């Protein structure tokens, strides 16, 4: 079976293309491999496309000339084609280039019309949050039979754990403030004083002068250089708890990587995290503030610019402290959650094996097999 796949410029898609379902061959924009795709001028093309979308008020529409049996879009792009196609979506905003301000009545009407077409076979939200957001964007009663949630995943490999004293916290992010830096910062001094924990942040964030002083004072390790995959694996392997209280993320590939490395993940109780982080099974969740995503998992429009660089929330920080203290004190529970996390990626509900089985079934149904 040959599948033409339109992928987004994100590492999670390289993982998925490198490990296709058995019997499936991916064609990527007519190129031989995903590396060629990522070396193309895709970012420039996306900028031009997004400007056109914003100006015309229509969603992203594409026509692909291919001899493949089926078309698979991983960015929610609606192909104009007479071939069967399926679409995976992180959020309905993907239909308008993730520009939530451009997700209005006209755009929703266009999207719903194309999703109802007979060539559209399956719509695949990759989290419960994505499904809820779709359901709350417009009436899905006429297309609900086409909707099937298929989780993202990464391939499993054994990460070598290195022995060390004490507890090491790890946060990996390109935008530390939007990922809860201040929420962690407000409790870290107490955690360090009481339990001697160490905190490493892998980030290219430019911190304020006061935060730089905080980092220096409390010995927070900041890694801002580019690391090889081997070095990244070593960073995961030398850590005990992955800390990611993000206000923003829909799906964060680093949380999957942390789980693969056998770490419990502490994250927000929102969007995609609610699916993969099962409290007291493979990690812990803290209540989301609701500042970025509302209860319908649509943007609030409240948080713009550098809002989170000065945002503090004592209630969230207090809950985060309690959850971290639980993991620090209860060694056996922490280790058990880490093992469960790795098992979910290896053979469980977040494994490529489970994802590919679902994809193969969806492709075959689309082709009437």
Report yes or no: 251 and 272 within 8 Å, Cβ to Cβ.
yes
The DSSP call for residue 142 is T
Q: Which residue has the higher pLDDT, 202 or 17?
A: 202
According to the per-residue pLDDT averaged within each range, which of 1-10, 53-62, 134-143 is highest? 134-143
Instruction: Decide: 312 and 183 in contact? Cβ < 8 Å.
Output: yes
Tens of pLDDT, residues 341-350 = 999 999 999 9
Q: Which residue has the higher pLDDT, 164 or 32?
A: 164
Please state the rounded mean pLDDT for residues 256-261: 97
Residue recorded with tokens 């900028």: 47
Specify the pLDDT at position 79: 75
Using the predicted structure, report yes or no on whether residue 13 has a pLDDT greater than 90: no
Q: Is residue 54 a contact partner of residue 99, using CB atoms and an 8 Å limit?
A: yes
Cα angle for residues 357, 362, 364 (degrees, 5° grid): 95
- pLDDT at residue number 45: 57
Question: Is the per-residue pLDDT at 184 higher than 50?
Answer: yes
Residue 30 pLDDT grade (very low, low, confident, very high; cuts 50, 70, 90)? very low
Lowest mean pLDDT among 8-17, 24-33, 125-134, 259-268: 24-33
- In 172-313, alpha helices (H): 181-185, 188-195, 209-217, 229-237, 253-260, 273-276
Structure tokens at 70: 């089926």
Domains and CATH numbers, the chain: 2-153+351-366 (3.40.50), 168-346 (3.40.50.2000)
- The pLDDT score that the predictor gives to residue 78 is 77
Between 37 and 351, name the one with better pLDDT.
351
Rounded Cα–Cα distance for residues 31 and 224 (Å): 33
Q: Report pLDDT for 47.
A: 61
Dist. CA 123–CA 120, nearest whole Å: 8
The answer to whether residues 201 and 169 touch, using CB atoms and an 8 Å cutoff, is no
Which pLDDT score, from 0 to 100, does residue 32 have? 45
**111-136 exposure pattern, b = at least 16 Cβ within 10 A, e = fewer:** bbebbeeeebbbbbbbbebbbbbbbe
How many Cα neighbours within 13 Å face the side chain of 174? Answer: 6
Q: What confidence score (pLDDT) does residue 359 get?
A: 96
| pLDDT at residue number 52 | 65
pLDDT surpasses 50 at 34? no
- The pTM (predicted TM-score) of the whole model is 0.91
Query: What's the CA dihedral at 176, 291, 152, 2 to 10 degrees?
Result: -110
Are the beta carbons of 66 and 54 closer than 8 angstroms? no
**3 state SS for 174-205:** CCCCCCCHHHHHCCHHHHHHHHCCEEEEECCC
DSSP annotation of 279 reads B
For 106-115, 207-216, 217-226, 320-329, which range has the lowest pLDDT when averaged over its residues?
Answer: 106-115
Write down the pLDDT at residue 38. Answer: 44
- The model's confidence at residue 14, banded by pLDDT at 50, 70 and 90, is confident
Q: Kindly report the average pLDDT of the chain as a whole number.
A: 90
- What's 293's DSSP letter? B
Residue 172 backbone dihedrals phi, psi, to 5 degrees: -125, 120
- What is the reported pLDDT for 6? 83
Q: Which range, of 57-61, 94-98, 303-307, averages the lowest pLDDT?
A: 57-61
Confidence (pLDDT) at 39: 47
CB 345 within 8 A of CB 152: no
Q: How far apart are CA 317 and CA 296, in angstroms?
A: 24
């Amino acid at each position: 079976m040959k599948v033409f796949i339109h992928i987004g410029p994100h590492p999670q898609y390289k993982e998925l293309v490198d490990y296709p379902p058995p019997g499936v061959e991916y064609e990527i924009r007519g190129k031989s491999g995903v590396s060629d795709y990522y070396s193309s001028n895709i970012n420039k093309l996306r900028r031009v496309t997004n400007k056109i979308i914003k100006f015309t008020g229509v969603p992203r529409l594409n026509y692909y000339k291919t001899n493949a049996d089926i078309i698979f879009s991983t960015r929610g792009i609606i192909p104009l084609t007479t071939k069967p196609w399926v679409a995976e979506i992180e959020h309905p905003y993907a239909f308008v280039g993730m520009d939530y301000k451009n997700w209005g009545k006209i755009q929703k009407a266009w999207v719903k019309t194309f999703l109802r077409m007979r060539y559209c076979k399956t719509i695949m939200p990759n989290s419960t949050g994505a499904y809820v957001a779709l359901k709350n964007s417009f009436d899905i009663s006429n297309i609900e039979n086409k909707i099937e949630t298929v989780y993202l995943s990464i391939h499993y490999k054994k990460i070598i754990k290195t022995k060390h004293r004490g507890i090491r916290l790890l946060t990996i992010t390109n935008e530390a403030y939007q990922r809860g830096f201040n929420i962690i910062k407000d409790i870290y001094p107490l955690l360090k004083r009481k339990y001697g924990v160490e905190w490493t942040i892998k980030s290219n964030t430019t911190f304020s002068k006061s935060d730089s002083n905080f980092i220096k004072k409390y010995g927070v390790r900041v890694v801002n250089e580019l690391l090889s995959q081997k070095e990244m694996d070593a960073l995961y392997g030398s850590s005990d708890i992955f800390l990611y209280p993000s206000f923003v993320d829909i799906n964060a590939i680093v949380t999957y990587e942390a789980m693969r490395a056998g770490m419990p993940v502490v994250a927000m109780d929102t969007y995609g995290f609610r699916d993969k982080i099962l409290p007291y099974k493979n990690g812990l969740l803290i209540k989301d503030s609701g500042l970025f995503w509302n209860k319908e998992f649509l943007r609030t429009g409240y948080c713009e610019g550098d809002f989170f660089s000065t945002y503090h929330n004592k209630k969230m920080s207090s809950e985060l402290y309690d959850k971290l203290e639980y993991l620090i004190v209860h060694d056996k529970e922490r280790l058990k959650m880490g093992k469960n996390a790795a098992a979910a990626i290896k053979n469980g509900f977040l494994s490529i094996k489970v994802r590919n089985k679902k994809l193969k079934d969806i492709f075959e149904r689309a082709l009437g097999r």
